[in-house]
Amino acid sequence: MSLPIAPKPGIRRFHQARWDEPLVFELSTPGERGVAVPPVERDVRTEVGDVVGALPDGLRRATPPALPELGQMRVLKHYLRLSQETLGADLNVDVGQGTCTMKYAPKVNERLVSTPDLTAMHPLQDADDAQGVLEIVWRTERMLAEISGMDEVSLHTQGGSAAIWANIAMIRAYHEANGEGDVRREVITTIFSHPSNAAAAKAAGYDVITLHPDADGYPDLAALRLALSPRTAAIMVTNPEDTGIYNPAIREWVDAAHAVGALASYDQANANGILGITRARDAGFDVCHFNLHKTFGTPHGCGGPGAGANAVSAALAPFLPGPRVVRDRDRFVVEEAGPASIGSVAPFHGVIPNIVRAYAWLMALGAPGLRAVAETAVLNNNYLMKKVLEIPGASAPYAVGRRRIEQVRYSWQELHEETGITSEEIGVRASDFGMHYWTSHHPYVVPQPFTLEPTESYSMAELDEYAAVLAEVAREAREEPETVRTAPHRQTVHHTHHDDLDDPDRWAITWRAYRRKYFGGTAA
């Protein structure tokens, strides 16, 4: 007896769309138009005069911009085709994006932020007309203070490295205010803390000391004690580290830093594994930050606009970025940055739509919901870890045999030695099954690395599916390595030329640069 509907195969026979769509500039046909802009009415022209003529010479182009000329329908088709050639978080089991934390960004929140009440707001609008959104900013800050245990929060930053920069800028201002700016010239971090901590400290003028893990794979407390001195300005650490390993001695780390007069800064951009379970301030930290897109359900948005939060102890509060939203009895007012503040780190009040999304996410979950997020994320991760470590050739180096928090940095080194296939090749082949897998692991410490983070968003069935794809690709690496080596076979494009991206003479991120570098001359 045959079933009325053919059963689906165990592993999806995915095939990505391949349109071979040219660049929009290459589609240009002189004279084509998408929109016929109506002529200015006579009354308007009379009232306003020659607007263009009124522009200063310095603002006027000598030649018109070389914009592509296309009909409306062709534009629509162009972008629809491109949209079919992506593997976004809303399409695939997006647990393989390194440390990016691709959790679900609830769609209902898009409705909230597209209400005219919000979209019609102007950042310079009088506070009396903006009480609602100012209240949302204030209430979100208070919730993040509660979540981190800190006293004060600023939502000014755009998150990520910008938030880490604000952390070190506050630390620097604090030591300068105490007359120790010239003495405290060193910042200590660990090799598995997000490298933007080292980068931001260095950009702020500090000497950076990096600690490697101890023999058991944990952050090395003995090495920290050796590195700390009256010259130390701060320790800047991620916990759990990018390996997913939680520093069991974190309180000792902070205490050791405080004992020499240094501050302790906590990168918890991704707090997915600790929400409602541990708090930065409870471990003694002076400064921390969150990324709203990693932890609080706002979209990553293809690199922006990001939003984040800096949270500090009372001692650091005067240094927070400004302006700030403060409550004055039953009203909310905008206060300019105080004299000790590091000043403005973003235009106006930060990225308001993301703050509203995060507020909605927090309110929808409540405190028990936040803890459930962390518990589910950790459970998902350890479930997936068990499935992945059952695949021959996969391993989880450092703290071997111990559980991880919200993510795991795995290694394909054994498979690589056996087959010659690299993690990058496995990632490319995984895309043939509709799975995103990205080898973003700076610095490159674990050999042949891959980092999986399931978050709380994925079901057991989806994690099973992801693990099955990895197992299948590992099998191929052994039995038919050329299939893996020559992948992708079912994708939009074949291999890209990475080296072009490393060569200033060849990289081209605009049409103009592409024309100039590859075809010479000064093409528009």
Partner 1 sequence: MLGLIVNPVAGVGGPAGLAGSDGDAVQRRATERGATPRAADRALAALAVVADARPGASVLTAAGPMGEDVVRRAGLDPIVVSRPVTPTSPADTVAAARALADAGASLVLFTGGDGTARDIATALATDVPALGIPAGVKMYSPVFAVSPRAAGGLAAAWLAADGRGLPVHEREVLDVDEEALRRARVEPRLFGVLAVPTRPGRTQARKAATPAGEQAAVAGAARGAASAMRPGVRYLLGPGGTMTEVARELGISKTPLGVDVVLDGRVVQAGASEADLLEQLAAGPAKAMVSVIGGQGFLLGRGNQQLSARVIRALGDDPVMVVAPEQKLIDLGGRPLLVDTGDAEVDVGLAGYVRVITGSATTSIYPVHAPEHEGEGHAP
Least distance in angstroms from the C-beta of 410 to partner 1: 14
441 binds partner 1 (CB under 8 A): yes
Question: Where are any strands of DSSP class E within 368-421?
Answer: 408-411
Contact 522, 63 (CB under 8 A): no
Least distance in angstroms from the C-beta of 390 to partner 1: 23
Selected range binding partner 1 among 71-79, 223-231, 277-285, 455-463, rule: CB under 8 A: 223-231
Nearer to partner 1 by C-beta: 414 or 462? 414
82 binds partner 1 (CB under 8 A): no
510 binds partner 1 (CB under 8 A): no
Selected range binding partner 1 among 168-176, 232-240, 441-449, 509-517, rule: CB under 8 A: 441-449
What letter would DSSP give residue 7? P
Selected range binding partner 1 among 30-38, 121-129, 440-448, 466-474, rule: CB under 8 A: 440-448
Using alpha carbons, select from 483, 493, 500, 501 the residue that is nearest to residue 426.
483
State how far the Cα of 218 lies from the Cα of 245, in Å rounded to an integer: 7
- Contacting residue, 449, 452, 473, 491, with partner 1 by CB under 8 A: 449
State how far the Cα of 102 lies from the Cα of 88, in Å rounded to an integer: 10
159 binds partner 1 (CB under 8 A): no
Using alpha carbons, select from 404, 427, 435, 434 the residue that is nearest to residue 498.
427
479 binds partner 1 (CB under 8 A): no
Chain centroid to CA 94: how far?
14
C-alpha distances out from residue 284 to 167, 254, 419, 431, 460, Å? 16, 6, 47, 43, 36
Selected range binding partner 1 among 53-61, 121-129, 213-221, 368-376, rule: CB under 8 A: 213-221
91 binds partner 1 (CB under 8 A): no
Using alpha carbons, select from 437, 464, 463 the residue that is nearest to residue 451.
437
Is the preceding omega at residue 38 within 30 degrees of 0, hence cis? Answer: no
Nearer to partner 1 by C-beta: 160 or 297? 160
438 binds partner 1 (CB under 8 A): yes
Q: Supply the angle between the helices 160-177 and 196-203 in degrees, to the nearest 10.
A: 50
Least distance in angstroms from the C-beta of 128 to partner 1: 43
Least distance in angstroms from the C-beta of 443 to partner 1: 6
Selected range binding partner 1 among 53-61, 284-292, 329-337, 491-499, rule: CB under 8 A: 491-499
Within 385-404, the residues that bind partner 1 by CB under 8 A are: 397-398
Least distance in angstroms from the C-beta of 210 to partner 1: 4
Nearer to partner 1 by C-beta: 146 or 214? 214
State how far the Cα of 133 lies from the Cα of 140, in Å rounded to an integer: 11
181 binds partner 1 (CB under 8 A): no
State how far the Cα of 502 lies from the Cα of 49, in Å rounded to an integer: 50
CA dihedral 428, 433, 437, 438 (to 10 degrees): 30
57 binds partner 1 (CB under 8 A): no
328 binds partner 1 (CB under 8 A): no
Partners of 235 in the beta sheet? 188, 264
Phi, psi torsion values for 314, nearest 5 degrees: -60, -35
Contact 358, 297 (CB under 8 A): yes
What's the token pair of residue 345?
């780190």
Residues in the chain: 524
202 binds partner 1 (CB under 8 A): yes
Least distance in angstroms from the C-beta of 499 to partner 1: 5
What's the token pair of residue 222?
């003995």
369 binds partner 1 (CB under 8 A): no
- Contacting residue, 150, 169, 198, 307, with partner 1 by CB under 8 A: 198
Nearer to partner 1 by C-beta: 12 or 441? 441
- Contacting residue, 134, 168, 227, 378, with partner 1 by CB under 8 A: 227
What letter would DSSP give residue 238? E
Phi, psi torsion values for 271, nearest 5 degrees: -105, 20
State how far the Cα of 19 lies from the Cα of 491, in Å rounded to an integer: 10
- Contacting residue, 212, 251, 331, 386, with partner 1 by CB under 8 A: 212
Residue ranges binding partner 1 (CB under 8 A): 191, 198, 202, 206-213, 215, 217, 220, 222-223, 226-227, 397-398, 413, 416-422, 424, 427, 438-445, 447, 449, 481-482, 485-486, 497-499, 501-502
